[in-house]
Chain A
Amino acid sequence: MWLPIRIDEQRPEPLYHQIEVQLRGLILSGQLKESTLLPSIRELAVSLKCSAITVRRVYQDLENEGLIRTRQGTGTFVAGVDTIARDEHRLERATEELERAVAAGLQLQCTVAELEALFQQIIRRKAEEGKEGLT
């Protein structure tokens, strides 16, 4: 099966980390349902152009986290995920995105006060847009 995982050549994180974060995201967000059969290690390695060593490491990490399980001879499957883990993931992902935005702002020499003002402004605007969208 094909997985929507993309390796970003510009990101500094190592390959295994990029793959792991995205696969974890696919599972925690529910895009990959419980008991979905995942590609074999070699299959995923070839499709992502990375080594089997990297994919094996990702699968091992996610298995240790209880997100996937391997059945001897049949393959690797998505495990059931509880709602607490899903909520935690939601906040973690949002934190990451905000961190990225703040880093961009700081690089553009914005002050903390400017960033806070922008943040409030954007939140208000989005809320307005949301309301309009509903009516």
Chain B
Amino acid sequence: MTVTTDTEAAVSLRGVKLQHDKFVLGPLQCDIPRGMVTAIVGPNGSGKSTLFRSLLGLEPIQAGEAEVLGSRLNGGQGDSYKTRIGFLAENPHSHENNLTADEKAKFSSYWYPNWDFERYYKLLRHFDVDGSVKLSKLSKGMRRKVELSITLAHDPELLLLDEPSSGLDPFAWKTMLEELRRYMEPGDRTLILATHIMEEIRRLADYILFIYRGRILGMYEKDRLLDDWRTLVVQQQPAVGTSIELLQRTPGLQGLTEAGPGLYRLEVDEPEQGETYCRSCGFQVLAVQRMELEDILSCLIRKEEARR
């Protein structure tokens, strides 16, 4: 497998802004690389679903420029670029309740030139669902499996999944991960998924796009984030007159809490410099540990909250 260079963007946003009711999304500035898996993460209501809808031209972009698979979205882009995208919405469409999975698949086959029934049936079999049952009669998880199969059946260049695993049991979830890995295998496919499931991000993501209150807090290479962030536990030395003020000047400091008498927990994104600094100030470094993704993300949110 060869992975396409990161410089090529599947989605490129330049100052994109849109607004409805009280919610403002943007201005957004980012490049989502081709051939990679990007997880969009953020608390509920951050704008993840709105962003997806705008990439599909379902929400008009009011300012800035957006490019998806080389097509500029300016209202006059037409629909053809969408046939190269697979989109799984957060919630099923109620107007499809009376269709069976196979009927919905047939409908989709008219729309996508690359549609492949063989691939569709293979996916249904792998997910273990019956395509002849009405969608309304399926459980939430079963319906999700149908939707995933239909979304993947035309082997889209770009796959947009909004909370793909909601309702899936752990076995179906594993099947989904396997199918998504298989989808990425050729190396030129791009997957963007919005998810709250940290395990999904751990297993799949190459990049993390962190959204909060309609703004991008950052686009990170996942492993770099995990490599750079550390928790330091340091102990004040009774003989040396050290103080918490000194710790507040630790290089790369992202969070600081008292963990006991004379004991402090620091979150830093420059662990080596941070450790050296704490030692030079007369603190004993008791532990240096990697951080969980969710702890890093909540630290970033806390920092953003403090800035507002």
> What residues of chain A have their CB less than 8 Å away from a CB belonging to chain B?
9-10, 12, 14-16, 40-43, 45-46, 49-54, 56, 72, 75
Q: Are A51 and B290 in touch, CB under 8 angstroms? A: no
Q: Give chain B nearest CB distance to A11 CB in angstroms.
A: 9
Q: Is the CB of B203 within 8 A of A14?
A: no
Size band of the interface chain B makes with A: 20 to 34
Q: Hey, which chain B residues are within 8 Å of A46, CB to CB?
A: 177, 181, 203-204
Instruction: Verify A9–B289 contact, CB threshold 8 A.
Output: yes
Is B221 at the interface (CB under 8 A from chain A)? yes
User: Are the C-beta atoms of A51 and B222 separated by less than 8 Å?
Assistant: yes
User: When the two chains form the complex, which single residue of A12, A42, A51, A54 contacts B1, counting CB atoms closer than 8 Å?
Assistant: A42
Instruction: Report whether A15 and B227 are in contact in the complex, using a CB–CB cutoff of 8 Å.
Output: yes
Question: B177–A52 contact, CB under 8 A?
Answer: no
Chain B min CB distance to A19 (Å): 10
A53:B221 contact, CB within 8 angstroms = yes
Query: B259 interface residue, CB < 8 Å from A?
Result: no
Chain B residues within 8 Å of A54, by CB: 223
B185:A52 contact, CB within 8 angstroms:
no
Please state if B36 and A12 are interface contacts (CB–CB under 8 Å): no
B10: CB under 8 A from chain A? Answer: no
Chain B residue at smallest Cβ distance from A53 = B206
Min Cβ gap B225→A in Å is 10
With a cutoff of 8 Å between Cβ atoms, the chain A residues found around residue B206 in the complex are 45, 51-53
In the bound assembly, the distance between CA atoms of A53 and B3 in angstroms comes to: 9
Chain B residues near A43 (CB-CB < 8 A):
181, 185
Kindly state the separation between the CA atoms of A12 and B272 in the bound complex, as whole angstroms. Answer: 9
The reply to whether A14 and B289 form a contact with Cβ atoms under 8 Å apart is: no
B205 within 8 A of A: yes
State A16–B222 Cα separation when bound (angstroms). Answer: 12
Residue B9 lies at the interface, judged by CB distance under 8 Å to chain A? no
A56 and B290 within 8 A (CB): no
A9 engages B290 (CB within 8 Å)? yes
Q: Counting CB contacts under 8 A, is B202 at the interface?
A: yes
- Most chain A CB within a 10 A radius of its CB, from B6, B37, B206, B289: B206
Complex formed: what's the CA distance from A54 to B225 in Å?
12
- Given the complex, which residues of B lie within 8 Å of A50, measured CB to CB? 222-223
Asked if A12 and B181 make an inter-chain contact with CB atoms under 8 angstroms apart, the answer reads no
B253 CB, min distance to chain A CBs, angstroms: 18
CA distance A52 to B181 in the complex (A): 11
A contact residues around B223 at 8 Å (CB)? 14-16, 50-51, 53-54
